[in-house]
Amino acid sequence: MTADTRDEAIRTAGRNAAATARELGLGPDERLVAKDVLIDADGARHVRYDRTYRGLPVIGGDLVVHLAEDGTITGSDLAHQGAIRIAGTTPKLTAADASAKAVKHARHVKKAKAGSKDSNPGGVRGRARSPSSPTVRPSPARARPAPPRDRR
């Protein structure tokens, strides 16, 4: 598939996202955001969506919708079936209080301070990080392979 074909398929999936959400039984405050599309040789499409609720990302809400060549939904793979129901989206803490509380609970992080933005949570390797974020590297002792054992 060419880049142009893929881009157009993603745009089409985006235009159809509201109808797809209704057909899957998602609630009125939920939205689907098309992220990727795979097209099979027979014309079937597999669309990966991210899910939002009142503009907030739904953790674990990503899903794949399978469509026949004519656009009919033939199946879906999603972790949470049906509409999301929560008490509300109004924060109980101010941004400053939430940041201070996070710092308090992150005692293992060296030099943690309120207001800092770490785009590499937990030092997970392979994720994007800002130039000011720390890089986690194995200690020199772990970086070297273990010496071979004598097998006599």
Q: Which CATH number characterizes residue 18's domain?
A: 3.10.450.490
Residue 141: pLDDT over 80: no
Q: Is residue 21 part of a domain?
A: yes
**Contact between residue 89 and residue 58 where contact means Cβ atoms under 8 Å apart:** no
47-67 pLDDT, tens digit each: 999 999 998 998 888 999 999
Q: Is residue 103 part of a domain?
A: no
How many domains are there within the chain?
1
Task: State the residue range of the domain holding 54.
Answer: 3-78
How confident is the prediction for the chain on average, in pLDDT?
78
Closest CA to 47 of 22, 15, 25: 15
Q: Is residue 127 part of a domain?
A: no
Q: Is residue 95 part of a domain?
A: no
Q: Is residue 129 part of a domain?
A: no
Q: Is residue 68 part of a domain?
A: yes
pTM: 0.61
**Contact between residue 136 and residue 125 where contact means Cβ atoms under 8 Å apart:** yes
80-125 pLDDT, tens digit each: 776 777 878 888 899 999 988 888 888 776 665 555 555 444 444 4
